[in-house]
């Protein structure tokens, strides 16, 4: 690569980072502009999918009228339905019920003020009609969406138009970002650790045999780690999410950079077919995965944005390469060093997976200047790991082990600069 090419790649990379930060600001502004009425949001009490001769009808039963916005995303084919924040009281998960082209659906909070339903289609579909029916007889309000088969070309055209319409509709709700307050003089000498609970909201992550969602397990583990770190008085621990909300992968990195994180620790739990496999593992960033399993795991964890209905994958290669170009060797070395301490300390607290330190291209580890590790706490598909991860006492043990690893890491870093 010539020098010119490098610098223009860097410029593009910085522009992408700036765009991400602006995006985050706008989202924060949107969140703060909305009144926080936790109660009194509409309730979705059922989601039905019915096959008719010429269409598949999706019906959401609601206790009142809601406005909605629909858009389509390709690869894989998805119909995304956004409504104001609602409470979902739906019977069970429905991923396995295929009805015509509809092969599954997910739902949850997308961001404060917005809930989302994502319908997965196995083949291209068109939205024939979408409307809200008022109550009649025993029926409540119903949001009705009729889908029919179409060609890929027609789907792609509809998709583009629907995204433009959706963006135009959502824009007026976004208030301009407030002027940033002047930073206070900083006498806080604590290290800042960003703890990233994986998944959230519309993206449940892995699902255990008993139906437990990874997003809930890792949020509980993140809060336990936050407590353990802050109790030492040496760390300020910031969570990327405090509740059950969806956050894009790159926003998680943006949060770490915004608070000038000294470390970034992402918490996950895996689920695979082989129920006998168990144990904790820790991953650091590499373009070259250490093995096929590590690569497959990175691919599945990197899908979060697709699961939630936004597809940023077409931007991935460019940004990925630039971020890795920018990443100093030092950051990766520090990440690997932390991973070593995590393995050493966690060996005393829980069972480790074979070769517990692995490498792969996890999107969430790509901050160029923040040493980052991703910890897979265990397998929800394994009975013993599942039992432990559901146990608050075990999560406190994990938090204590991770805190010791972080202590040792900073002792090492400080010794190196003495
Ligand atoms: Zn995960």
pLDDT of amino acid 407: 95
Chunk the chain into consecutive blocks of 10 residues (it has 418) and report each block's average pLDDT, rounded to whole numbers: 35 41 40 46 91 92 91 90 89 68 87 86 93 88 94 90 74 46 64 96 90 96 98 96 92 91 96 93 86 85 78 47 54 90 94 93 85 96 95 97 96 71
pLDDT of amino acid 185: 54
* H helix and E strand count, the chain: 10, 15
Q: Quote the ligand 1 centre to 303 CA distance (angstroms).
A: 9
pLDDT of amino acid 246: 93
Q: Quote the ligand 1 centre to 191 CA distance (angstroms).
A: 26
CB 125 within 8 A of CB 81: no
pLDDT of amino acid 303: 84
The CATH architecture one would assign to domain 191-417 is: 3-Layer(aba) Sandwich (3.40)
According to DSSP, the β-strands at 372-379 and 263-270 are parallel
Residue 367 CA from chain centroid, whole number: 16
C-alpha 84/C-alpha 145 separation (Å) is: 17
Omega into 76 within 30° of 0, i.e. cis? Answer: yes
C-alpha 1/C-alpha 73 separation (Å) is: 35
pLDDT of amino acid 160: 82
Interval 253-276: pLDDT, tens: 999 989 999 999 999 999 998 999
Q: Quote the ligand 1 centre to 304 CA distance (angstroms).
A: 8
C-alpha 280/C-alpha 393 separation (Å) is: 17
Q: Quote the ligand 1 centre to 412 CA distance (angstroms).
A: 29
Q: Quote the ligand 1 centre to 263 CA distance (angstroms).
A: 19
The CATH T-level fold of domain 43-172 is: Immunoglobulin-like (2.60.40)
CB 383 within 8 A of CB 390: no
Strands of the sheet with 352-360, listed across from one edge: 235-239, 191-197, 263-270, 372-379, 280-285, 352-360
CB 338 within 8 A of CB 405: yes
- Smallest CA-to-CA distance from 312 within 54, 91, 16 is with 16
Q: Which tokens go with 202?
A: 């519309």
Q: Quote the ligand 1 centre to 381 CA distance (angstroms).
A: 13
Q: Region of 342 please: left (phi>0), alpha (psi -120 to 50) or beta.
A: alpha
Mean of the per-residue pLDDT values of the chain: 81
C-alpha 362/C-alpha 332 separation (Å) is: 13
Helix (H, G, I), strand (E, B) or coil at 379: strand
Q: Quote the ligand 1 centre to 404 CA distance (angstroms).
A: 23
Show me where the domains of the chain are located. 43-172, 191-417
CB 307 within 8 A of CB 200: no
Q: Quote the ligand 1 centre to 33 CA distance (angstroms).
A: 30
Q: Quick one: the chain helix, strand, coil %, rounded to 5?
A: 40, 30, 35
Q: Which tokens go with 387?
A: 């039992």
Q: Quote the ligand 1 centre to 309 CA distance (angstroms).
A: 17
């Amino acid at each position: 690569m010539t020098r010119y090419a490098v610098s223009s790649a860097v410029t593009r990379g910085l522009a992408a980072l700036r765009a991400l930060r602006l995006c985050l600001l706008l989202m924060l502004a949107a969140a703060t502009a909305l009144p926080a009425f936790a109660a009194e949001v509409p309730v979705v009490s059922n989601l039905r999918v019915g096959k008719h001769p010429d269409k598949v009808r999706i019906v959401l039963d609601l206790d009142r009228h809601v406005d909605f916005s629909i858009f389509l995303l390709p690869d894989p084919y998805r119909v995304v339905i956004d409504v104001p924040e609602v409470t979902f009281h739906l019977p069970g998960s429905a991923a396995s019920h295929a009805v015509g082209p509809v092969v599954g659906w997910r739902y949850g909070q997308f961001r404060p003020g917005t809930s989302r339903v994502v319908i997965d289609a196995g083949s291209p579909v068109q939205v024939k009609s979408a409307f809200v029916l008022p109550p009649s007889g025993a029926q409540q309000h119903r949001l009705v969406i009729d889908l029919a088969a179409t060609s890929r070309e027609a789907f792609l055209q509809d998709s583009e138009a629907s995204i433009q319409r959706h963006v135009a509709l959502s824009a007026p709700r976004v208030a301009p970002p407030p002027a940033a307050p002047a930073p206070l003089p900083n006498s806080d000498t604590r290290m800042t650790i960003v703890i990233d609970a994986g998944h959230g909201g519309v993206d449940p992550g892995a699902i255990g045999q008993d139906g437990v969602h990874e997003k809930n397990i890792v949020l509980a583990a993140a809060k336990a780690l936050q407590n353990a770190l802050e109790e030492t008085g040496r760390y300020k621990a910031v969570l990327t999410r405090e509740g059950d909300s969806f956050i894009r992968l790159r926003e998680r990195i943006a949060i770490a950079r915004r608070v000038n994180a000294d470390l970034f620790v992402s918490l996950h739990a895996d689920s695979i077919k082989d129920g006998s496999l168990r144990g904790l593992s820790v991953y650091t960033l590499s373009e070259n995965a250490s093995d096929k399993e590590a690569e497959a795991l990175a691919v599945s964890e990197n899908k979060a944005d697709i699961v939630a209905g936004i597809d940023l994958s077409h931007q991935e290669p460019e940004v990925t390469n630039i971020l890795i170009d920018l990443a100093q060797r030092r950051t990766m070395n520090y990440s690997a060093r932390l991973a070593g301490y995590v393995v050493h300390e966690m060996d005393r607290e829980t069972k480790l997976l074979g070769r517990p330190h692995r490498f792969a291209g996890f999107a969430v580890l790509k901050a160029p200047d923040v040493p980052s590790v991703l910890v897979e706490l265990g397998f929800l598909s394994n009975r013993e790991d599942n039992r432990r991860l559901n146990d608050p006492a075990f999560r406190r043990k994990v938090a204590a082990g991770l805190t010791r690893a972080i202590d040792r890491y900073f002792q090492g870093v400080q010794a190196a600069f003495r």
